[in-house]
Amino acid sequence: MTDLGGQVLCTESYGSRNAQRYQPLPDGRLSCVLDRPEGQGYRSLQDVFMSVFLPQGYPESVSPDYLAYQIWDTVQAFASSITGTLATQAVLKGVGVGDETSTVSAATVTWILKDGTGMLGRILFAWSKGSKLDCDAKQWRLFADVLNDVAILMEILAPAFPACFTLIVCTSGFFKCIVGVAGGATRAALTMHQARRDNMADVSAKDGSQETLVNLAGLLVSLLLIPLVADNLRLTYSLYGLFTVLHLYANYRAVRAVCMETLNRARLRLVFCHFLERAEVPGPAIANPQEPLVLGFRQQLKMTLGAPLHTVTSSVADFQKALEGNATNYLIFFNRSEGAVSILLHRRAGSVDVIKACTHALFLESLLYWDVATRFLDKRAVLDLRRRLHEEPNDKDCAVLSETHWLMDRIFPEFLKGLTAAGWVTDRNLLGPEEWRVDWNIAGKKSH
């Protein structure tokens, strides 16, 4: 038998941690040697903590921004737990806990009205905004936390207005249920971004464990605070202000830490504008910190992506003009008087087609409102096209749009190549198109 004494047969690791070596023993058995620094007990405790509260395979199994986001998310959850306790105490006091003159039935009716109003808010908000939460997850996450702080403030102030107490707590319940829908939906969207090994369930479960631990810590701190704030409104308001500032700051840092590689309208606008100015596409790490986080961000040119045909034209001639010379999977209609562009998507349109259609609308916006000179096109031609967009009558818009199609065919291939090279995902997007799709090749099929 060959002498293998001291020779390493193989090495093994659990993710990027717990490296160990296997060596042969004289009797033929394998010996496992752990490659650990001193302080093995501490390392073992750390390993247990990581296995309980972090996804399996961390950090390789999650996105690079996972740790920074979770740290600030933990801070905001702790602050929210404290302010939530202050609000609960105020509501209980308002419904009559500790007051001999109040009745159980009155308190029950108030609580039922509060919950019922919240349920109605949950349904209405999910119906009106549910399809938009994926596209702007960071903005809606920040909105949810701001609204949550407003709802908590209303509950803390409610006992000071006994005549309007029921109305105030019902409104607060309405807001909190909106927070629940927006917060839960955006958390799911962020979990999808963070999970890198088809491990959404594990990432979500560990996030729940982290939140439970933080809420437990918040409850313990709340037990110490409750006797102090029971009859001290000034201290209650001071603590609310302190922890609300911490909560909002931590939420801002948390969403700023998220670096999404998929394109939504705000991120596409940023990278395309940069591309026109400098002939290069910035990566996600550069564009994400510049993305606006306040809801209400709108392009100067209103865009409807995936519009139904009947909303853009009722004229056969206009529809046929839009089809002339068009070799793309989208049709674009421009309404200068309303400052709007509507895009019809073909039934075969894929993610790249949607990105190109949205980029085309942004190119129109650049011609109308931006002072950007692209390096890919002749400056005089761009200035002439811009002048015609502003000065020519509306019935000439089709001719101008036809020229922009030709220009986009020159610009977009290089732009798409830059997107891929910079690390952006193009096989899916968060541009939020409507579900309408048109098949304008059907007449040609019937003629054969």
Q: Which two tokens stand for residue 70?
A: 């979770």
**Which residues, 6+ apart, have CB-to-CB distance to 138 below 8 Å?**
186, 255, 258, 260, 291, 293
Predicted pLDDT at 342: 92
Predicted pLDDT at 349: 94
The ranges of the chain with pLDDT < 50 are 1-3, 39-41, 446-448
Predicted pLDDT at 388: 76
Among 315, 318, 326, 255, smallest CA distance to 291 is for: 255
In which region does residue 103 sit, left (phi positive, over 0), alpha (psi from -120 to 50) or beta (all else)? Answer: beta
Give the DSSP per-residue string, 78-92.
Answer: HHHHHHHHHHHHHHH
Predicted pLDDT at 278: 86
Predicted pLDDT at 437: 94
Among 346, 334, 335, 338, smallest CA distance to 405 is for: 334
Q: Output the 3-class SS for 342-380.
A: EEEEECCCCHHHHHHHHHHHHHHHHHHHCCCCCCCCCHH
CATH 1.20.1250.20 intervals, the chain: 66-257
Predicted pLDDT at 298: 60
- CA dihedral of residues 229, 235, 237, 239 (deg, nearest 10): -90
Predicted TM-score of the model (pTM): 0.85
Q: Which two tokens stand for residue 442?
A: 């059907």
CA 139/CA 71 separation, integer angstroms? 19
Q: Which two tokens stand for residue 60?
A: 């390789």
Q: Output the 3-class SS for 8-64.
A: CCEEEEECCEEEEEEEECCCCCEEEEECCCCCHHHHHHHHHHHHHHCCCCCCCCECC
Greatest alpha-carbon pair distance for the chain in Å reads 94
CA 126/CA 219 separation, integer angstroms? 30
Neighbours of 223 (CB within 10 A): 10
For the domain 66-257, what is the CATH code? Answer: 1.20.1250.20
Predicted pLDDT at 448: 44
Predicted pLDDT at 24: 86
Question: Long-range contacts: 10-14, Cβ < 8 Å, 24+?
Answer: none
Among 357, 358, 330, smallest CA distance to 345 is for: 330
